[in-house]
């Protein structure tokens, strides 16, 4: 297969890994990013970088036409849950409204395939875990709502136009490119594995454990951590499926179907680093659920994709290697 894919947010964490997976699979890539939270050092030099706003529709349409783009992968967006609570309109603008504009640009220029970064936050606090795609979507924050609204637009546009999509609902994305070409680079991390590897290399002096009284085996929160390179590979498989079966659209959980607790993650970091990182036990973080694990039977039945990097120690090792490298790139 070949052709050009436009990747919004391709200078960000997950987007840059998708760019690598696309390039490695033989696609041409245009990264479209406003660099508000992305970094040029994450963009592979084989890709063309366009610095622009998604809502600059003239620029977007010209880019789609000039490069003969056949599909869009849409990673750009805002992703901080507490910020979405304090500034919801930012989330409806950057996620929902920008997506509306991008989908319209796709339809207007004849781009027929669209892959969307959705989230397990669309489920809210599911009553049943592992959670499956057809279970209730009751987001408990504007971030989840802003993403769910985009899923709904895609559904309706696919019914009305010659256009199909795959929405991937990400669980807890972690790790970094095993070849060291990209990784999570944003300052002020809030995600557990990133925080733990920062502590491992001395950027922090402890890790806070938020909540020890959940209804889980050790009382701490359980999540389905997925390696970012596996997640990127799922996007490339989804792209082939959209092209091969233009009449079908898909909404797929992107997770491994297994969970690790906060303490299990911290044990893995200690094991990998041979350290004893200080843990400070604390109250629950508002809005956190106890367990969030994917039922991944649909993605396994839909795509040839199979987990390759589910090993927790491997995820931690890759995250740690990138964290060390980042210190050299940006001390
Ligand atoms: N967590 C923690 N300490 C931290 C960051 C996260 O105990 O410094 C916990 C959090 O309460 C949740 C799990 O780790 O149970 C994963 O949180 P993260 O922020 O990585 O992702 P989320 O599941 O909230 O999207």
Taking the centre of ligand 1 as the mean of its atom positions, its distance from the CA of residue 256, in whole angstroms, is 17
Structure-block tokens of residue 286? 């508002």
Taking the centre of ligand 1 as the mean of its atom positions, its distance from the CA of residue 221, in whole angstroms, is 7
Contact 6, 69 (CB under 8 A): yes
Same domain? For 112 and 44 the reply is yes
Same domain? For 247 and 272 the reply is no
Ligand 1 atom at minimal distance to the Cα of residue 121: 25
Q: In sequence order, what are the beta bridge partners of 167?
A: 116, 251
Same domain? For 268 and 319 the reply is yes
Cα separation, 174 vs 194, whole angstroms:
8
Same domain? For 80 and 32 the reply is yes
Same domain? For 125 and 214 the reply is no
In a domain, 182, yes or no: no
pLDDT at 330 (0 to 100): 81
Cα separation, 7 vs 15, whole angstroms:
7
Q: Which of 134, 138, 133 minimizes the C-alpha distance to 122?
A: 138
In a domain, 285, yes or no: yes
In a domain, 312, yes or no: yes
- What count of other Cβ atoms lies within 10 Å of the Cβ of residue 272? 19
CATH number at residue 283: 3.90.25.10
Q: Is the CB of 172 inside a 6 Å radius of any atom of ligand 1?
A: yes
Cα separation, 131 vs 120, whole angstroms:
9
Same domain? For 54 and 160 the reply is yes
For 293, residues 6+ apart whose C-beta sits below 8 A from its C-beta are: 129, 130, 131, 171, 222, 223, 224, 255, 257, 258, 259
Q: Give the angle subtended at the CA of 206 by the CAs of 204 and 212, to the nearest 5°.
A: 140
Q: Give 234-290 pLDDT, tens digit per residue.
A: 999 999 999 999 999 999 999 999 999 999 999 999 999 999 999 999 999 988 889
Q: What is the percent of the chain where pLDDT is above 70?
A: 99
Cis upstream peptide for 93 (omega within 30°): no
If you average pLDDT over residues 308-313, what whole number do you get?
98
Q: Any catalytic annotation for residue 225? A: no
Tell me what the pLDDT averaged over the chain comes to.
97
Instruction: Give the H or E element holding residue 227.
Output: strand 225-227
Same domain? For 265 and 250 the reply is no
- Exactly one of 91, 143, 170, 214 is catalytic; which is it? 143
Q: Is the CB of 298 inside a 6 Å radius of any atom of ligand 1?
A: no
Q: Give 21-66 pLDDT, tens digit per residue.
A: 999 999 999 999 999 999 999 999 999 999 999 999 999 999 999 9
Taking the centre of ligand 1 as the mean of its atom positions, its distance from the CA of residue 41, in whole angstroms, is 27
Pocket test for ligand 1, best of 221, 255, 289 (most atoms within 8 A of CB): 221
Cα separation, 82 vs 235, whole angstroms:
27
Contact 224, 255 (CB under 8 A): yes
Same domain? For 114 and 197 the reply is no
In a domain, 181, yes or no: no
In a domain, 185, yes or no: no
Q: Give 83-94 pLDDT, tens digit per residue.
A: 999 999 999 999
If you average pLDDT over residues 185-189, what whole number do you get?
91
If you average pLDDT over residues 110-134, what whole number do you get?
97
In a domain, 274, yes or no: yes
Tell me how many domains the chain contains.
2
Q: Is the CB of 253 inside a 6 Å radius of any atom of ligand 1?
A: no
Same domain? For 60 and 203 the reply is no
pLDDT at 188 (0 to 100): 87
Same domain? For 15 and 160 the reply is yes
CATH number at residue 157: 3.40.50.720
Same domain? For 131 and 245 the reply is yes
pLDDT at 237 (0 to 100): 98
pLDDT at 286 (0 to 100): 84
Ligand 1 atom at minimal distance to the Cα of residue 285: 11
Taking the centre of ligand 1 as the mean of its atom positions, its distance from the CA of residue 12, in whole angstroms, is 20
pLDDT at 287 (0 to 100): 82
pLDDT at 1 (0 to 100): 66
* Domain span at 42: 4-174+226-254
Q: What's phi and psi for 184, nearest 5 deg? A: -75, 120
Residue ending a domain, choose from 208, 236, 254: 254
Which residue's CA is the nearest one to ligand 1's atom 15?
A: 221
Same domain? For 212 and 93 the reply is no
In a domain, 41, yes or no: yes
- What count of other Cβ atoms lies within 10 Å of the Cβ of residue 142? 24
In a domain, 215, yes or no: yes
């Amino acid at each position: 297969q070949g052709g050009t894919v436009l990747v919004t947010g391709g200078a960000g964490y997950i987007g840059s890994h998708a760019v690598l997976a696309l390039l490695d699979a033989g696609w041409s890539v245009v990264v479209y990013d406003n660099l508000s939270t992305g970094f040029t050092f994450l963009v592979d030099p084989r890709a063309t970088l366009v610095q622009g706003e998604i809502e600059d529709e003239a620029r977007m349409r010209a880019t789609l036409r000039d490069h003969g783009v056949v599909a869009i992968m849409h990673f750009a967006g805002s992703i901080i849950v507490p910020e979405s609570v304090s500034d919801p309109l930012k989330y409806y603008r950057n996620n929902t409204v920008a997506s509306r504009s991008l989908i319209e640009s796709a339809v207007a220029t004849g781009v027929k395939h669209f892959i969307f970064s959705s989230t397990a936050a669309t489920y809210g606090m599911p009553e049943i875990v592992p959670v499956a795609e057809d279970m209730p979507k009751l987001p408990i924050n504007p971030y989840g709502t802003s993403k769910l609204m985009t899923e709904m637009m895609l559904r309706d546009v696919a019914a009305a136009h010659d256009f199909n999509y795959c929405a991937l609902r990400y669980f807890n994305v972690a790790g970094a490119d095993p070849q060291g070409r990209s990784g999570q680079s944003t300052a002020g991390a809030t995600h557990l594995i990133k925080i733990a590897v920062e502590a491992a290399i001395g950027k922090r002096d402890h890790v806070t454990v938020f909540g020890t009284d959940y209804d889980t085996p050790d009382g701490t929160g359980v999540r389905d951590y997925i390696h970012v390179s596996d997640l990127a590979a799922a996007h490339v498989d989804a792209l082939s499926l959209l092209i091969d079966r233009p009449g079908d659209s898909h909404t797929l959980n992107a997770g491994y179907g297994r969970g690790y607790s906060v303490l299990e993650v911290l044990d893995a970091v200690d094991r990998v680093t041979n350290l004893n990182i200080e843990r400070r036990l604390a109250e629950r973080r508002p809005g956190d659920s106890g367990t969030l694990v994917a039922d991944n039977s649909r993605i396994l039945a839909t795509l040839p994709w199979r987990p390759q990097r589910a090993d927790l120690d491997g995820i931690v090792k890759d995250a740690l290697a990138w964290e060390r490298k980042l210190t050299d790139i940006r001390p």
